[in-house]
């Protein structure tokens, strides 16, 4: 290759922006060479470098190789209101997701009418709540739950008590077999269609996870009680989330259950509250379906 061809490559290789940048850079160098003005060269060189950096797509979070466009693609199936929340604070959104994926995945495992647990799935850290009778209000003896949520449940119980509100724990861990018996009794009583609106089939209950808690009366009257209203306002601060909110039956598959909360951890409950409009099912579907894509984007 001759010298002149090389020069042509230098000016015309690459896209138009790159060509322009090279052209400007050459002019600067030539000007500097003729004027001998070194300071000016440095300043203009800096300006050229800054311009070049601006053209690099900006990453939204230091731990993810994700641009604004990538994140928009990742969230494209979410409702517009949720996407707006994410667009307003993308870094905070990704930070919460990072913390959730670093934490215990079982806490955000999706269990719904489609995805469930097997008859052999039993939590490894079940504890008897009778041992904590002095700090929890229990409807009866024999309740069990995972130890991972005990500190949060006790802190929440204490916070409510300080405001004169008692949080009665009425139902906690249920084994696959127990749920099977319960569901079959409901079907016998009300028929399968009616039972499916308020009771999970065996293997499809969040109670089998050992992290779901039913409070108070376990019926519609609970929503209007002081405990029901307090939980609605405050439970998320302690990592608890209302699983089946009002008006969401067509989406969650269950009637409004003002008494049924699931412990998902504080990072997830913040994510749900601040980005997913308090819809646990929507957030868990997102977390569970996009996990591998987000993991692949980790830096």
Output phi, psi for 53, to 5 deg.
-65, -35
Cβ of residue 174: shortest distance to Zn ion, in angstroms?
9
Interface with Zn ion, residue 282, by CB under 5 A: no
Cβ of residue 187: shortest distance to Zn ion, in angstroms?
17
Rounded Cα distance between 186 and 198, Å, is 9
Residue 232 to residues 154, 168, 236, 249, 280, Cα–Cα distance (Å): 17, 15, 8, 18, 13
Q: 297: which 2 tokens?
A: 């984007």
Q: Please report the DSSP string for 29-86 in residue order.
A: HHHHHHHT-HHHHHHHHHHHHHHHHHHSPPPSBTTB---HHHHHHHTTTS-HHHHHHH
Region binding Zn ion by CB under 5 A among candidate stretches 39-47, 87-95, 231-239, 259-267: 259-267
Interface with Zn ion, residue 112, by CB under 5 A: no
Query: Considering beta carbons, is residue 152 or 206 the nearer one to Zn ion?
Result: 206
Rounded Cα distance between 61 and 185, Å, is 51
Query: Considering beta carbons, is residue 143 or 260 the nearer one to Zn ion?
Result: 260
Cβ of residue 96: shortest distance to Zn ion, in angstroms?
26
Number of residues that bind Zn ion (CB under 5 A): 2
Query: Considering beta carbons, is residue 156 or 297 the nearer one to Zn ion?
Result: 156
Query: Considering beta carbons, is residue 146 or 260 the nearer one to Zn ion?
Result: 260
Cβ of residue 261: shortest distance to Zn ion, in angstroms?
8
Query: Considering beta carbons, is residue 214 or 266 the nearer one to Zn ion?
Result: 214
Q: Where are the alpha helices (DSSP H) in the chain?
A: 3-12, 16-35, 38-55, 68-74, 80-88, 90-102, 150-162, 176-190, 192-198, 226-234, 249-252, 266-274, 280-296
Give the residue at shortest CB distance from Zn ion: 260
Interface with Zn ion, residue 143, by CB under 5 A: no
Cβ of residue 262: shortest distance to Zn ion, in angstroms?
9
Region binding Zn ion by CB under 5 A among candidate stretches 7-15, 76-84, 222-230, 260-268: 260-268
**Half-sphere exposure for 272 (CA within 13 Å, toward CB):** 29
- Out of 143, 204, 260, 285, which residue is the one contacting Zn ion (CB under 5 A)? 260
Interface with Zn ion, residue 262, by CB under 5 A: no
Nearest to 113 by CA among 236, 13, 244: 244
* Geometric angle at alpha carbon 37, from 34 and 40, rounded to 5°: 120
Cβ of residue 211: shortest distance to Zn ion, in angstroms?
11
User: What binding mask, one character per residue, do residues 198-237 give for Zn ion by CB under 5 A, x or -?
Assistant: ----------------x-----------------------
Cβ of residue 57: shortest distance to Zn ion, in angstroms?
45
Nearest to 148 by CA among 123, 131, 167: 123
Region binding Zn ion by CB under 5 A among candidate stretches 41-49, 50-58, 254-262, 280-288: 254-262
Residue ranges that bind Zn ion, judged by CB under 5 A: 214, 260
């Amino acid at each position: 290759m001759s010298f002149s061809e090389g020069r042509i490559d230098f000016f015309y290789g690459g896209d138009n922006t790159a060509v322009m940048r090279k052209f400007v850079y050459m002019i600067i160098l030539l000007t500097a060479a003729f004027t001998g003005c070194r300071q000016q060269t440095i300043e203009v060189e800096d300006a050229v470098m800054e311009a070049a950096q601006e053209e690099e797509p900006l990453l939204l979070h230091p731990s993810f190789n994700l641009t604004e466009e990538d994140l928009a693609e990742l969230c494209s199936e979410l409702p517009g209101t949720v996407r707006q929340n994410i667009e307003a604070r993308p870094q905070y959104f990704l930070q919460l997701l990072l913390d959730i994926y670093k934490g215990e995945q079982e806490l955000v495992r999706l269990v719904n009418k489609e995805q469930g647990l097997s008859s052999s799935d039993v939590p490894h850290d079940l504890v008897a709540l009778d041992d904590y009778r002095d700090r929890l209000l229990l409807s009866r003896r024999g309740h069990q739950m995972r130890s991972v949520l005990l500190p949060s449940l006790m802190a929440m119980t204490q916070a409510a008590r300080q405001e004169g509100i008692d949080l009665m724990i009425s139902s906690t861990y249920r084994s696959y077999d127990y749920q099977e018996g319960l569901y079959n009794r409901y079907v016998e009583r009300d028929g399968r269609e009616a039972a499916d609106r308020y009771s999970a089939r065996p293997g499809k209950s969040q109670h089998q996870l050992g992290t779901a808690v039913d409070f108070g009366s376990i019926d519609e009257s609970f929503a209007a009680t002081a405990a029901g209203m307090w939980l609605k306002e405050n439970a998320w601060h302690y990592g608890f989330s209302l699983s089946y909110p009002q008006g969401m039956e067509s989406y969650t598959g269950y009637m409004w259950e003002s008494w049924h909360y699931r412990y998902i951890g504080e990072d997830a409950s913040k994510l749900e509250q601040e980005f997913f409009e308090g819809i646990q099912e929507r957030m868990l579907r997102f977390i569970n379906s996009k996990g591998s894509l987000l993991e692949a984007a980790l830096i």
